[in-house]
Amino acid sequence: MDERADPGMGDPASARSASVSRNTNETSVSVSVNIDGSGTAKISTGVGFFDHMLDQLARHSLIDMEIEVKGDLHIDDHHTVEDTGIALGQALSRALGERRGITRYASIDLAMDETMTKAAIDVSGRPFLVWNVAFSAPKIGTFDTELVREFFQAFAQNAGITLHVLNHYGANNHHIAETCFKSVARALRTATEIDPRQANRVPSTKGTL
């Protein structure tokens, strides 16, 4: 496995952006993020539904994302989805740097038609995922619904965030998946924003995250 990052990124004194390249025998992943962006997305993973979800993640977090993945889709979508989560999480972590001045915590209940999903985030440096989401079918089109959790597990672990996702209710599996991505996006937007009252402090009594 080959992983490279732009060594100049993630410095608190510079723009909060980073790039990660991750190459294995299963996938080749290239990710760039700019936390202080406008939600511009350039996504190509080879998995149409996943591209749509990542576009929602960028648009509603206002984090600019460029993601290009070449994966072993002749096997299935699993490696592509999981490895994208790994690289995206690593890029976010590096872009956040020491996490000085950030709001750190955020949660939101997000509605979409008949569906409501809650996401709560702590940009803590302690990765953990609590996942309370159930789908009524194994697939959305050709996309395995179990891969939604796999993405967020990989993302949370590598971003160093505590992430709780709870689907309150919903009937349409597309809507359930989409509210997971949108609610995480909105919570991520708030949690990573600079709090002007923090005065460049790390938001922890320990002095580090």
| Average pLDDT value over all residues in the chain | 93
63 within 8 A of 187, measured Cβ to Cβ: no
Residue 77 sits at the vertex; the CA angle it makes with 121 and 184, to the nearest 5 degrees, is 15
Indicate whether 204 belongs to any domain.
Answer: no
Quick: pLDDT tens for 97-123. Answer: 999 999 999 999 999 999 999 999 999
Q: What is the token pair recorded at 10?
A: 């993630």
Flag whether 208 is in a domain: no
In this prediction the pTM is 0.91
| pLDDT at position 207 | 75
Per the domain annotation, does 26 fall within a domain?
yes
Q: Which residue has the higher pLDDT, 207 or 10?
A: 207
The answer to whether the CB of 178 falls within 8 A of the CB of 123 is no
pLDDT score of 162 more than 60: yes
What pLDDT, in 10s, does the model give residues 66-85?
999 999 999 999 999 999 99
- CA torsion 183-57-180-100 (nearest 10°) is -50
- Please say whether the beta carbons of 134 and 166 come within 8 A: no
Instruction: State yes or no: pLDDT of 18 exceeds 80.
Output: yes
The CATH number given to whatever domain includes residue 20 is 3.30.230.40
Q: Tell me, yes or no, whether 134 lies in a domain.
A: yes
pLDDT at 204 over 70: yes
HSE (CB half, 13 Å, CA atoms) of 153? 11
Residue 34 placed within a domain: yes
CA distances from 55 to 17, 65, 178, 182 (A): 18, 8, 10, 10
Domain coverage including residue 112:
2-192
